[in-house]
């Protein structure tokens, strides 16, 4: 069997239609979009057409979409510029956010940009305690809230409509990291109350190195990157034109095919969960109920092993690509901060299997076979 790729939460294969669109731009549209001549103008048209496509799918206006180098830049821009624009001194997040959020907020606290960083309580499955969130909002000055839609390691979903309502009630600015869910769920930004949402194209069969930041029209921020008038004076630097075109095409395909792909991938996830449940002492991290969990992610906790750190390596040499780790051990910073945040057992290795539209049931049968062999050989007696 060819390699089985189950690390789609890290990155996805490029869709052939997306590649074709990008190759066309690379071959035929080489003008600088900031140039006023005909070749520049036609490239500018491609960018604005892509912006209009993205905005239309999200029910946003084109003026609310800013193209970036990916999710990390978008998260950083939202957090750093949003906090600065409103001189906010208190931020709220969780201990299982992506490092693009966690490290940025920690840096802002260390530098004195914010005076206080609060962590909302989460349970052992990664669910936000909304009562505690409201207490934090109520008992502090105006806050900046950064809570992701779906956890990238666990798959647990946050009720972002509920978070948005709470933020509106207490006049908080709300940034939602939607990297894992953009293109997998339909987002209507007019119904959601997030001020910032983000996308990385490579999570939805688009190219690496490009994404976007949605900035609600009610929010006014200054740029993080200076040097030019690109992106309506919000992001200096010549645009990644073929990446932007590829992003828009990937999102367009994702929306058109979403219902069928969601059903297909959910069936794969349920099937793998059922088969792995046959292994003694296996359990699943985070929520696995389809209403509470991202359908593309299944995080599995395996029994303690003699060489737990070799589990992913053993999968790899058997032709299976996945990711994972374990909770941080006492006194060590090595390990998953997400698994540590939900108090997972550091002696148990976890694997995140993440699926795409290209995966098949036959691939999963092979994965289950190899996983059982590895566990049988390595489980500590």
Name the percent of the chain lying above pLDDT 70: 97
225-259 pLDDT, tens digit each: 999 999 999 999 999 999 999 999 999 999 999 99
207 and 347 inside one domain? no
The answer on pLDDT for 158 being more than 80 is yes
CA 41/CA 47 separation, integer angstroms: 10
pLDDT bin (cut points 50, 70, 90) of residue 1 is: low
317 and 237 inside one domain? no
The answer on pLDDT for 331 being more than 50 is no
62-116 pLDDT, tens digit each: 999 999 999 999 999 999 999 999 999 999 999 999 999 999 999 999 999 999 9
The answer on pLDDT for 269 being more than 90 is yes
- For residues 1 and 158, the model is more confident at 158
Q: Which of 253, 282, 304 is the last residue of a domain?
A: 253
CA 40/CA 230 separation, integer angstroms: 13
pTM attached to this predicted model: 0.95
Backbone angles phi, psi at 350, to 5 degrees: -120, 145
Catalytically active residues are: 328
79 and 228 inside one domain? yes
Q: Give the pLDDT of residue 27.
A: 97
- For residues 191 and 334, the model is more confident at 191
231 and 314 inside one domain? no
Backbone angles phi, psi at 371, to 5 degrees: -60, -45
246 and 263 inside one domain? no
CA 95/CA 343 separation, integer angstroms: 11
The answer on pLDDT for 380 being more than 90 is no
CA 176/CA 86 separation, integer angstroms: 17
CA 93/CA 121 separation, integer angstroms: 9
CA 196/CA 141 separation, integer angstroms: 20
User: Which is it for the CA torsion 179, 181, 183, 187, positive or negative?
Assistant: negative
pLDDT bin (cut points 50, 70, 90) of residue 325 is: confident
Give the chain's domain count. Answer: 2
Q: Which of 220, 253, 286 is the last residue of a domain?
A: 253
Q: Give the pLDDT of residue 306.
A: 62
Q: Which of 223, 253, 283 is the last residue of a domain?
A: 253
178-225 pLDDT, tens digit each: 999 999 999 999 999 999 999 999 999 999 999 999 999 999 999 999
Listing from the earlier edge strand, what are the strands of the sheet with 350-354? 283-285, 297-301, 350-354, 323-325
Q: Give the pLDDT of residue 326.
A: 76
Residue 261's H or E segment, with its range, is helix 241-276
Q: Give the distance, in angstroms, between the CA of residue 175 and the centroid of all CA atoms in the same chain.
A: 13
Residue 182 sits in a domain of what CATH number? 3.40.640.10
140 and 246 inside one domain? yes
92 and 214 inside one domain? yes
CA 214/CA 112 separation, integer angstroms: 27
220 and 308 inside one domain? no
241 and 269 inside one domain? no
Angle, CA of 188, 193 and 195, to the nearest 5°:
100
Contact 206, 250 (CB under 8 A): yes
pLDDT bin (cut points 50, 70, 90) of residue 378 is: confident
78 and 166 inside one domain? yes
Backbone angles phi, psi at 127, to 5 degrees: -80, 140
Range of the domain at 274: 4-11+257-378
pLDDT bin (cut points 50, 70, 90) of residue 379 is: confident
324 and 235 inside one domain? no
């Amino acid at each position: 069997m060819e390699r089985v790729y189950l690390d789609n939460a890290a990155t996805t294969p490029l869709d052939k239609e997306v590649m074709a669109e990008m190759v066309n731009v690379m071959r035929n549209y080489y003008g600088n979009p900031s140039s006023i001549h005909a070749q520049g103008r036609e490239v500018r048209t491609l960018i604005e057409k892509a912006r209009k496509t993205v905005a239309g799918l999200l029910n946003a206006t084109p003026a609310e979409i800013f193209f970036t180098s990916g999710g990390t830049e978008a998260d950083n821009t939202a957090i750093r510029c949003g906090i600065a624009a409103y001189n906010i001194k208190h931020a709220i997040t969780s201990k299982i956010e992506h490092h693009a959020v966690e490290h940025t907020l920690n840096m802002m606290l260390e530098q004195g940009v914010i005076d206080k960083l609060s962590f909302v309580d989460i349970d052992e499955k990664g669910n936000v305690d909304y009562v505690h969130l409201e207490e934090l909002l109520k008992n502090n000055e105006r806050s900046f809230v950064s809570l992701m839609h779906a956890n990238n390691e666990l798959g647990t979903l946050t009720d972002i409509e509920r978070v948005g309502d709470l933020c509106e009630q207490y006049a908080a600015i709300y940034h939602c990291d939607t990297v894992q869910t953009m293109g997998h769920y339909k987002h209507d930004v007019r119904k959601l109350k997030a001020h910032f949402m983000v996308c990385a194209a490579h999570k939805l069969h688009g190219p690496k190195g490009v994404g976007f930041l949605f900035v609600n029209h009610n929010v006014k921020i200054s740029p993080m990157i200076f040097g030019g008038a690109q992106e309506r004076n919000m992001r200096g630097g010549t645009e990644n034109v073929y990446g932007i075109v590829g992003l828009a095409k990937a999102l367009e395909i994702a929306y058109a095919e979403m219902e069928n792909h969601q059903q297909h991938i959910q069936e794969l996830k349920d099937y793998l969960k059922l088969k792995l449940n046959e292994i003694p002492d296996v359990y699943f991290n985070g929520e696995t109920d389809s209403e509470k969990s991202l359908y593309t992610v299944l995080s599995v906790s395996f029994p303690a092993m003699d060489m737990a750190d070799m589990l992913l390596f053993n999968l790899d040499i058997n032709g299976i690509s996945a990711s994972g780790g374990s909770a941080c051990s006492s006194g060590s910073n090595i390990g998953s901060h997400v698994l540590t945040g939900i108090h997972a057992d550091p002696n148990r290795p976890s694997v995140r299997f993440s699926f795409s539209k290209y995966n098949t049931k036959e691939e999963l049968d092979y994965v289950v076979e190899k996983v059982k062999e590895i566990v049988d050989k390595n489980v500590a007696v």
